[in-house]
Structures are given as structure tokens and as C-alpha cells.
């Protein structure tokens, strides 16, 4: 009986059905066609070339820039009983020779190769000897010279097509924008490829964006809802990474720092721990995460604003690849915006580039200030229409808007009366009627605006100020020590010709019953915990990450259904023939005891 894509999906991978466009993509490649696949992180890109690799004659050559990812993918494939290997700088000469021999003699179904190695004369001649089923180019946006992941070696990959015109190719990326897409098609010479654009929605991720008030406490409140779960906390600087990791450790979390200033060994050790152990919180700069395909990351937290919506989406996309409920939480404040604007202005790039930088930041700030569904705003940014999601902070807990016209007038007048020469701190002091040395020195206690905002708190005024800045009524002048200045847009408000609706401050703390995940994990289920303990032991014995053995989602389903026979167990998603053979009896044993 010959295999079909679906029978392989069921038998080898243990999954009941293809997701979205997977089936069409697989069919295209099996029939010898080229494909460009745009799918969000966690969408299921790997199966798109793994199944054709099994169905076509020869070995699939997978180009991937990420060594750690290659190793885990290969480990996962071997667990499924598939002949897979990788070639990269982590192998010694003898081990590499062994892999090369297996490749040339047709013993492999999938070979993962780093791009620089693929283009060497040595590997090119191996390609001539071997039978190649297909070329898969992962992280294909690395050909884009405008992107931040540019890899010069990727430009050489178009040569593959010239030398092996009959071998089908598939390029895959999670970067959605049309400019990058066009660049991939052109540079990889994929003009005839079918383009598959999946929905970029990640429905299992709940988005929450909060005003930064006491970031450390807000973070700990957020993490309290994720005890024992793995997640990533992003910070903008190395120093903040270290400090935050320390604070989390003190608060009882298993937290590890990760940033470019640490030595390679420590970094690698921390990464391994994050991948292999349950419930590690990685506190990291943005450098961390590319090439981490750990499926059970339950949350991604941002303590600082990323640079763009793309960046935010890519980073938050590292949560919940397994499709289980996950959370993306971010705390942001005006200072983030001011710092980034200065950063852009002070960089020595061309004006056009700076304008793009500001526009990207504007779009992200717009998302943060959104008074309607976050997901609608996010997907709209990627050109996708969608209805309100019911799974973001705005949908779950709609912000109240209040008429802030008078407040805005008071604040704008204070900026004006003090001469548009002072930063936020001083302006708010005047507004609140504080007596400081600076206020006395400038005689600002004599102004008509002195103390006109005393009936509101400093916190409320900061929220008003932030909203006026992000809406462009006020600007922060970096060349004048952060002085606040009025813009043209402030005039109609001051004259009373325009009303200003503002978002009310979040009154409840970041964590509350209402904002808990809709589907609470049954992590307290003792059977789930026993299964996890068994998995940890098994993974340790084999020296692979726990998820390579079985995913959380699979363990959870086992705990819920309590199968008594191998046949019952086999119906659970994520258990293919090999895994059933290898672990079936042990799992049934755990279930019987639990």
C-alpha cells in the first residue's frame, strides 16, 4: 500500500488532519512544483517539507541558518523514526564525514545544512552524487538586505536552481510584508513558485498591553498567573536583563539571564536549560529567540517597547506554538517612546530610513493605545481583516474613555506658560502645584497654571501626557533635553474647537480572575504532573528536550482521557506509530498508577 500525505501525517506524526494550507503545499512539492510559504511562527511550516521529503525519492536538503534549531529538529525527526541528520560547525570532522557518506549513498531522508556549508565546492559535489528530493529554504527572509536578519550567504542560494533545475524548492518564512515577499521571490529566483499566505492570526495567544507604572511589580503579578510555566521576558538592555533575572529569582522563579554580553558557554548553558527543563523563565534581550522552536513557551512578556509591530509580532509569536493557550503581555510607557525616537534621530542613517523608523514606531504605539480589539489592529497591520477576538485585554475588559478636553487644555497651557523649555517632570510639578527649588527659581508658582491640576494624581497626569504625545499634540525635543513643545495639532484643542477622548487608567491590577486564561491548564491534575515527571526522566536519559518526547498538549489529552489500551492511546494527537512503540507501555503504566 503506498503512502499518501495524510496517511503519513497520521501514522508517522500522529496528527489527525492537516492545518490550513499544509495539504496544498505538500501536494505542490510532491508534484515537483516550487512554493513560497508565508506562515506565522507556530503555524506548522516544518511539515510542509518534511512530508514531501518522505514521499519523494531521495533526500530533502533543508537550509537553515540556526544551529540549535537544526539539532532539535533532527532529534525530533529521529524520535519519529525518520533518517535525518545535520551538517554544521558543531560536528567534528569524522562525524561530518559519516553524515556526508550517508547522504551520498542515499541513506537519509532529510539533511539540514547551514547555508555557508551548502555553497562549498565539497558540498556541491556531494549534491551531484546524491539524489535530492527537494530543497527547503527556511527563514527565507534572510535574503532580504533590508531586514535585520540578513545573511549574505542566502544570496548564493539562487545558484541551486541553476545547477539543479529539476529539483523542487520551497522557501519558508514568518515575515509577512509584501516587500520582503517580493525580494524573496526575486533573489531566490522563485518566479514560478506558488505563493501560500496563511492567516497570521494566532488565536491561542492572548494579547495584553499595560501602562508601565511599577514594571517590576507588574511583571511579578503577571508571572504569578504562570507559575511553573516556561516563558520569555524581553528587556531592552543587558543591565536590565541581569537586574530583572535577579529580581525574579528572589521572587522564587527559575529565571535565567541571556544577552550578548555573556560568555558563549554560559549563554549556551542557559539556553539548554530553557529548552530542556520545565518551567524556566528566560530573561533576555531581543537577540534571544530566533531559532528557538520550543513549542510549550506559555508566555512572552515585554518590559520595553520593541521597535515595530513586526518585531512585536515575531517575538510574541514564540509563545504557544503548540496551539495551547498562551499569553503575550507588554508594559510600556512614554519613556520608551521618547528613548526610541531619540535613538532613531541620533542614528547616522539616511533621512528616509529615519522616517521609516518613526512610522514603524507610530504604528506600534497606535496598537498600544488602541481602544478596540488588539488582534484586529495587529492583523490589519499585516493586511488581514478580522472580527473582534474576545481574547485580548481590550475585548475582555474594554477601556473606559473619558472626555479629557479640559485636562488636555490644562496640560497644554502649562507647557505653553512655562515657555516650552521644560521636560515632563517640571511641567507636571507646576500643574500639580508642588513647591520645588526649580519652581521657585523660575517663579513658576506665580503662573496662572500653577496647581490647576492638583485635583488629579501624578499618575493620571502622566497618562494624559503620554496620550497627548503619542497623538502628536505635544512633542518631545531631544535636542533640548527632552523639553515638551506644542505642535500645530494642539491649537484647536486649546481653542476649544476639538474634544479629546482619553483612555482611563486601568484601575484593577494587572492580574485578576477575569484576565486569567480562558482555558486554565489542568496543571494541578496529578496525572498530568506524573506524566511530566516521567517525560523529564525519559528526556534526560536520551539527552533531548522534553518536548521531543511528547508535547504538553499530548500529555494533557492523555491525562484527560486516561486511555487503558495502546489502541486508545493511539487515538491521541501527537502519538505516531514510533512513539506508541517506544513509549506506549510506559505511558499506560503511568496512567494506571495515577
Q: Which residues are near ligand ADP by CB under 6 A?
A: 15, 18-19, 22, 39, 41-47, 293, 295, 321-322
Q: Which is nearer to ligand ADP, 39 or 185 (CB)?
A: 39
Cβ atoms < 10 Å from Cβ of 290: 16
Q: Is 395 in the site for Zn ion (CB under 5 A)?
A: yes
- For the bound state, the minimum distance from the C-beta of residue 206 to Zn ion, rounded and expressed in Å, comes to 9
**What's the min distance (Å) between Cβ of 396 and Zn ion?**
8
395 binds, among ligand ADP, Zn ion, none (CB under 5 to 8 A by kind): Zn ion
Sheet with strand 59-63: strands edge to edge: 84-87, 110-113, 59-63, 132-137, 169-173, 35-38, 194-197
All cell numbers assigned to 328: 503575550
Q: How far is the CB of 62 from ligand ADP (least distance, A)?
A: 11
Residue nearest ligand ADP (C-beta atom):
44
How far out from the chain centre does Cα 461 lie?
A: 33
Size of the site for Zn ion (CB under 5 A): 5
- Name the helix (H) or strand (E) containing 270: helix 264-276
Residue 18 contact partner, candidates ligand ADP, Zn ion, none, CB within 5 to 8 A by sort of partner: ligand ADP
Binding region for Zn ion (CB under 5 A) out of 70-78, 138-146, 298-306, 394-402? 394-402
The nearest distance, CB 386 to Zn ion, in angstroms, is: 9
Residue whose C-alpha cell reads 517663579 in the numeric block: 443
Strands 110-113 and 132-137: unpaired
Least distance CB 594 / Zn ion (angstroms): 38
Nearer to ligand ADP, 43 or 115 (CB): 43
For ligand ADP, the closer of residues 40 and 257 by Cβ is 40
**Residue with grid cell 517525560, as numbered in its chain:** 535
Dist. CA 101–CA 111, nearest whole Å? 12
Return the residue of 205, 379, 389, 430 that touches Zn ion, per CB under 5 A: 389
Stretch that binds Zn ion, among 5-13, 138-146, 393-401, 533-541 (CB under 5 A): 393-401
- SS3 of 101-131: the string is HHHHCCCCCEEEECHHHHCCHHHHHHHHHCC
380 or 447: CB nearest Zn ion: 380
Instruction: Say how many C-beta atoms besides its own lie within 10 A of residue 320's C-beta.
Output: 25
CB under 5 to 8 A by kind: which of Zn ion, ligand ADP, none does 389 bind? Zn ion
Q: Please give the Cα distance from 72 to 69 (Å, whole number).
A: 5
Return the one option of ligand ADP, Zn ion, none that residue 47 interacts with (CB less than 5 to 8 A, by type). ligand ADP
Q: How far is the CB of 106 from ligand ADP (least distance, A)?
A: 26
Strand 401-403 to 110-113 pairing: unpaired
Between CA 82 and CA 464 the distance in angstroms is: 59
Q: Measured over all CA atoms, what is the biggest interatomic distance in the chain, rounded to whole angstroms? A: 92
Residue 23: CB minimum distance to ligand ADP, A: 9
Toward ligand ADP, which CB reaches closer, 77 or 331? Answer: 77
- Cα 99 to its chain centre, rounded Å, is 33
The SS3 assignment for 84 reads strand
Instruction: Write out the three cell numbers for 79.
Output: 524520535
What are the Cα distances from residue 171, in Å, to 33, 35, 150, 381, 403?
12, 6, 15, 23, 51
Contact 468, 451 (CB under 8 A): no
What is the closest distance, in whole angstroms, from the C-beta atom of residue 376 to Zn ion in the complex?
Answer: 7
> Which of ligand ADP, Zn ion, none interacts with 295 (beta carbon under 5 to 8 A by kind)?
ligand ADP
Q: Which stretch binds Zn ion (CB under 5 A): 131-139, 389-397, 450-458, 510-518?
A: 389-397
- 10 Å CB burial of residue 464 (0-12, 13-18, 19+) is buried
- Beta bridge partners of residue 84, listed in sequence order: 110
Helix axes 351-369, 458-470, angle to 10 degrees: 130
Report the partner that residue 39 touches, choosing among Zn ion, ligand ADP, none (CB closer than 5 to 8 A by kind).
ligand ADP
Pick the stretch among 83-91, 354-362, 383-391, 581-589 that binds Zn ion (CB under 5 A).
383-391
Beta strands per DSSP E along 31-155: 35-38, 59-63, 84-87, 110-113, 132-137
> How near is the Cβ of 555 to ligand ADP at its closest, in Å?
13
Per partner kind, with CB cut-offs from 5 to 8 A, the member of ligand ADP, Zn ion, none near residue 580 is: none
The SS3 of residue 436 is coil
* Residue of 365, 392, 428, 484 that binds Zn ion (CB under 5 A): 392
In three-state form (DSSP H/G/I as H, E/B as E, the rest C), the secondary structure along 323-350 is CCCEEEEEEECHHHHHHHHHHHHHCCCC
43 binds, among ligand ADP, Zn ion, none (CB under 5 to 8 A by kind): ligand ADP
- Restricting to residues 350-379, name those near Zn ion by CB under 5 A: 373, 375
Instruction: State the nearest-atom distance from the C-beta of 22 to ligand ADP, in Å.
Output: 6
- Report the nearest approach of ligand ADP to the CB of residue 9 (Å): 6
- CA–chain centroid gap for 77, Å, is 24
Closest distance between ligand ADP and the C-beta of residue 576, in Å?
Answer: 11
- Comparison of 22 and 175: residue with beta carbon closer to ligand ADP: 22
Give the nearer residue to Zn ion in terms of CB position, either 181 or 375.
Answer: 375
Q: Based on CB atoms, which residue is closest to ligand ADP, 54 or 469? A: 54
Residue closer to Zn ion, measured from CB, 66 or 378: 378
**Burial group, residue 453, by CB count within 10 angstroms (0-12, 13-18, 19+):** buried
- Nearest approach, Cβ of residue 37 and Zn ion (Å): 27
- 41 makes contact, choosing from ligand ADP, Zn ion, none, with CB < 5 to 8 Å by partner type, with ligand ADP
- Report the candidate in 457, 456, 434, 460 with the shortest Cα–Cα distance to residue 445: 434
For Zn ion, what does the binding mask look like between residues 315 and 354, x meaning CB under 5 A? ----------------------------------------
Residues that bind Zn ion (CB under 5 A): 373, 375, 389, 392, 395
Amino acid at each position: 500500500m503506498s503512502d499518501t500525505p495524510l496517511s503519513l501525517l497520521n501514522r508517522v506524526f500522529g496528527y489527525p488532519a492537516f492545518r490550513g494550507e499544509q495539504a496544498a503545499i505538500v501536494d505542490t512539492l510532491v508534484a515537483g512544483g516550487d512554493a513560497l510559504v508565508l506562515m506565522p511562527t507556530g503555524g506548522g511550516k516544518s511539515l510542509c517539507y518534511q512530508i514531501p521529503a518522505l514521499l519523494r525519492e531521495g533526500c530533502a536538503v533543508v537550509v537553515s541558518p540556526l544551529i540549535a534549531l537544526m539539532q532539535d529538529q533532527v532529534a525530533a525527526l529521529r524520535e519519529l523514526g525518520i533518517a535525518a541528520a545535520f551538517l554544521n560547525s558543531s560536528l567534528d570532522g569524522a562525524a561530518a564525514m559519516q553524515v556526508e557518506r550517508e547522504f551520498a549513498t542515499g541513506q537519509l531522508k532529510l539533511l539540514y545544512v547551514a547555508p555557508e556549508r551548502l555553497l562549498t565546492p565539497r558540498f556541491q559535489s556531494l549534491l551531484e552524487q546524491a539524489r535530492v528530493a527537494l530543497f527547503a529554504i527556511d527563514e527565507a527572509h534572510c535574503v532580504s538586505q533590508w531586514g535585520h536578519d540578513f545573511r549574505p550567504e542566502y544570496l548564493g542560494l539562487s545558484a541551486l536552481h541553476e545547477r539543479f533545475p529539476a529539483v523542487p524548492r520551497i522557501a519558508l518564512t514568518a515575515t509577512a510584508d509584501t516587500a520582503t515577499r517580493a525580494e524573496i521571490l526575486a533573489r531566490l529566483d522563485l518566479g514560478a513558485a506558488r505563493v501560500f499566505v496563511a492567516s497570521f492570526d494566532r488565536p491561542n495567544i492572548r494579547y495584553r498591553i499595560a501602562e508601565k507604572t511599577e514594571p517590576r511589580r507588574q511583571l511579578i503579578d503577571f508571572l504569578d498567573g504562570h507559575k511553573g510555566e516556561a516563558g520569555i521576558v524581553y528587556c531592552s538592555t543587558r543591565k536590565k536583563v541581569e537586574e530583572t533575572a535577579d529580581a525574579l529569582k528572589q521572587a522564587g522563579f527559575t529565571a535565567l539571564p541571556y544577552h550578548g554580553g555573556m560568555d558563549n558557554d554560559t549563554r549556551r548553558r542557559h539556553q539548554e536549560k530553557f529548552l530542556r527543563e520545565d518551567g524556566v523563565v528566560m530573561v533576555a534581550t531581543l537577540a534571544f529567540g530566533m531559532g528557538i522552536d520550543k513549542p510549550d513557551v506559555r508566555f512572552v512578556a515585554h518590559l520595553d517597547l520593541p521597535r515595530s509591530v513586526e518585531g512585536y509580532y515575531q517575538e510574541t509569536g514564540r509563545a504557544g506554538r503548540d496551539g495551547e493557550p498562551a499569553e503575550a503581555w507588554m508594559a510600556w510607557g512614554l519613556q520608551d517612546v521618547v528613548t526610541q525616537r531619540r535613538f532613531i534621530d541620533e542614528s547616522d542613517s539616511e533621512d528616509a530610513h529615519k522616517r521609516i523608523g518613526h512610522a514603524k514606531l507610530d504604528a506600534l504605539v497606535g496598537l498600544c493605545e488602541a481602544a478596540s480589539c488588539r488582534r484586529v489592529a495587529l492583523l490589519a497591520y499585516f493586511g488581514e481583516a478580522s472580527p473582534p477576538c474576545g481574547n485580548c485585554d481590550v475585548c475582555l475588559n474594554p477601556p473606559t474613555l473619558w472626555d479629557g478636553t479640559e485636562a488636555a487644555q490644562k496640560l497644554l497651557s502649562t507647557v505653553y506658560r512655562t515657555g516650552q523649555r521644560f521636560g515632563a517632570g517640571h511641567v507636571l510639578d507646576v500643574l500639580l502645584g508642588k513647591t520645588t527649588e526649580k519652581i521657585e527659581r523660575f517663579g513658576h508658582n506665580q503662573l496662572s497654571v500653577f496647581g490647576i491640576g492638583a485635583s488629579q494624581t501624578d499618575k493620571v497626569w502622566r497618562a494624559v501626557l503620554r496620550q497627548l504625545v503619542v497623538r502628536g499634540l505635544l512633542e518631545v525635543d531631544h535636542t533640548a533635553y527632552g523639553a515638551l513643545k506644542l505642535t500645530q495639532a494642539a491649537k484647536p484643542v486649546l481653542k476649544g474647537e476639538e474634544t479629546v477622548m482619553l483612555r482611563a487608567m486601568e484601575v484593577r491590577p494587572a492580574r485578576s480572575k477575569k484576565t486569567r486564561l480562558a482555558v486554565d491548564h489542568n496543571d494541578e491534575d496529578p496525572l498530568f504532573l506524573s506524566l511530566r515527571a516521567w517525560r523529564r526522566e525519559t528526556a534526560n536519559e536520551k539527552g533531548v528536550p522534553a518536548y521531543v518526547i511528547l508535547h504538553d498538549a499530548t500529555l494533557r489529552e492523555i491525562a484527560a482521557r486516561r486511555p487503558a489500551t495502546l489502541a486508545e492511546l493511539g487515538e491521541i494527537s501527537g502519538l505516531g506509530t514510533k512513539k506508541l512503540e517506544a513509549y506506549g507501555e510506559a505511558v499506560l503504566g503511568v496512567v494506571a498508577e495515577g
